[in-house]
Amino acid sequence: MMKTIFFSILLVLVCFPVFAQDDEGTFSPSKLESIAGNMKQIWTDNDPDFAATNTPDKWKEESGVIIAQKTRFSFDKDASKLAVYEITHRRIKLNDRDAVNSYSYVYFRIGSSNDGAGFKVIKPDGTVQDVSLRNAIYVEDASDVPSTFAPYIGKASTYYDKSKSRVIYYKLAIPGLDPGDIIDYGTIFYDDNTVKKMSFIEFDPIYYVCTREYPVMSQKFEIDTDDKSFVNSKSTMGAPEFKETGNGNTDYSWEDRNREKLSDTRWVNSFVELPMVKFQIVFSRVENKSDLFIGDKGELKKNISPDELARKMNLQYSRLDGSYYYNLAKAYLKQIGASDLKEDEYIYKSYYILRHISFFKANGISSEVFASCFTQCLDLRKIPYDLVVTTPNNLTRPENIIFRTEPEWMVRVKGKFVFNATPFSNPYDMKEEFLGTPAYIISLGKNPTATPVTINGSTPDENITTNTIDATLDTASRTMHVIHQKAITGMSKASYNTQALIYTTAFDDDYRSYGGEDDLRASLKGAVLESYEEKLRERKKEDKVRKLEYMKKTFEDDYDNISKYTEFTLNADGRTWRKQELNYTSKFELADMVKIAGKDLLVSVPALIGDQLFINSDERTRELDASMSYPRSLRNVINFTIPDGYKAVGVSNLNMNLENSVGTFAVMATVEGNKLSILVKKLYKQAVVKKEDWSKLVEMIDAAYNFTQKKILLKRM
């Protein structure tokens, strides 16, 4: 026990820095002087773009304007470490109060003696105010730092970490900031990456969309590498390309000017539809290492041909070490007598075994390891398959692959695609990010090839969400009592899996999905097993309470007037071959559903379908296609019990049927006895709606929103 307490205290001391502070601020005068010394390289930079204070008249109504921003990456290797400096300078004109509020607090990192930060406010009359770092506040959770103030790259993952740089952030108030001011700031992030026993280091790739939150006058990247670092880059949708600077065969620059801000913000596939530059720096001791996506020394690698991709994928596949997972899978297959299973059953049980291994024996596995293990399982029964490689359609197109991390692996068996498992997935489940995506079948062997193939699309009938809503009204308290059953199929399940299964027992008996044994309980005996069972009972009891709290908060997204959430029932978790539908029931109460009109009642029965999107005036014109993820169907079946002594009037006025090429919104309302039944159908027919058809989608969305604003008149009899 004492040892446990000791290590707990030690962990706190290691993870949370102890600051030597004087009585007047976070940083001592000597530390402030050191930081200021580091910042001289930014403040003395003679780049003329950072001397500008005027912005174009065409942008005077914009919330803000980025006058200039530049980031330089500098790499320097010695015997034991690869030092990386990421030096950023930004100058932004703040035209209104929203922009001022965005920069009223800033963040910076001081985790090593080489880090730096500095902030200045330039007033309209040219007065420059330096903002002292002295009273900055330590940020306890680095995840709270907005991405604007975080490094693009950060520290790499290495075998050993003898780095002296730490991730320590501070928050600083910018006093006296007003509309019309310019904020001019710089940051320096320094990371010393330990390269001992590392043959290569791949830094995180950077995907930079040219359009920003404000229009941009000038934006630049500069890369200064050593002779063992390589750069891959690809520009898409008309974005400028990286160029060699001429200062050396390892220096590169990128520049973009006069860029309008992003106009469409909803349903935008940013990485694919907008001008973007992506780049990655790779350190490698071996020039043109065959399994890395790098070129020759000094080459700015911009393309990977299908043939080159096939060779690299083949080599990567042959070097995969998934033996631990595959040997586990073989043991499970033997346990269930897989050699006697019919072929189809063998395929899906192999899938569930790998899903179990991935999330109960590991913290998830990569798509290439999953594909490798799955194909080896298929080889045991000599079941033919294709190994397929593509990219998520929200990241890049296959023809634009340039990084080793971009390809996703999958397997085609019996004409259907099998993707890397998630904790919720079933064999042959489609994933929205691969719908209709071009791909390559990769042949294995000495002469690998990449044969084009297209992953299939989907239809609304394959992705259905059905809400069956039984509602009764307490006229005394004006409270609506609701029993809400949700049944979901296809890709629509992805939006509800976590909501449905968190704080439930869905994963406790995962072994049942493949017909195996409870390997956890089998490994426990006597008092240890009893202790496990007792803790499990306690967890289930606590989870029941947590579940109700969680569901109430979740349902507030659809019903902001929910007053109580009283019961949750999981009918089917949707994670088995025979029961792939996700199905659960909720009981809750809604307030503010009734308005009094004399002796009559106006009841918001249509609002039972949940909040619907409202398209404001700024969004009614569009410059880009709308990415709707996947075609889908939403059905709401409302069964409302009319209170005794009342009758529903004007029900037929709810009926409508709006249908066009992109979607449908239809309502059919009927009354039989004391039951008001309303069937509401909403269809998204396309995964991508062309900008020319945007008005048709808006028409459907408007119809759904307007429907929820209607009320049913209950007339006193």
Q: For the chain, report the end-to-end CA distance as a whole number of angstroms.
A: 74
Q: In the structure, what pLDDT confidence band is assigned to residue 158 with cuts at 50, 70 and 90?
A: low
Q: What is the mean pLDDT of the chain?
A: 91
Q: Could you tell me the pTM of the whole model?
A: 0.89
Q: 623-675 pLDDT, tens per residue?
A: 999 999 999 999 999 999 999 999 999 999 999 999 999 999 999 999 999 99
Collect all residues with Cβ–Cβ distance below 8 Å to 189 and sequence separation of at least 6.
84, 85, 86, 87, 88, 109, 115, 151, 153, 154
Q: 245-293 pLDDT, tens per residue?
A: 866 657 899 999 999 998 888 999 999 999 999 999 888 876 656 778 8
Residue 33 three-state SS: helix
Cα separation, 544 vs 369, in Å, equals: 36
Domains in the chain, ordered, with CATH?
Answer: 27-302 (2.60.40.3140), 311-457 (3.10.620), 461-505+525-716 (2.60.120.1130)
What is the DSSP-derived secondary structure letter of residue 10?
Answer: H
Q: 320-378 pLDDT, tens per residue?
A: 888 999 999 999 999 999 999 999 999 999 999 999 999 999 999 999 999 999 999 99
Q: Is the CB of residue 119 less than 8 Å from the CB of residue 183? A: yes
Buried b (16+ CB within 10 A) or exposed e, 9-39: eeeeeeeeeeeeeeeeebbeeebeebbeebb
Select the more confidently predicted residue: 20 or 87: 87
Buried b (16+ CB within 10 A) or exposed e, 270-292: bbbbbbbbbbbbbbbeeeeeebb
What is the DSSP-derived secondary structure letter of residue 47?
Answer: -
Q: Is the CB of residue 153 less than 8 Å from the CB of residue 281? A: yes
Residue 523 three-state SS: coil
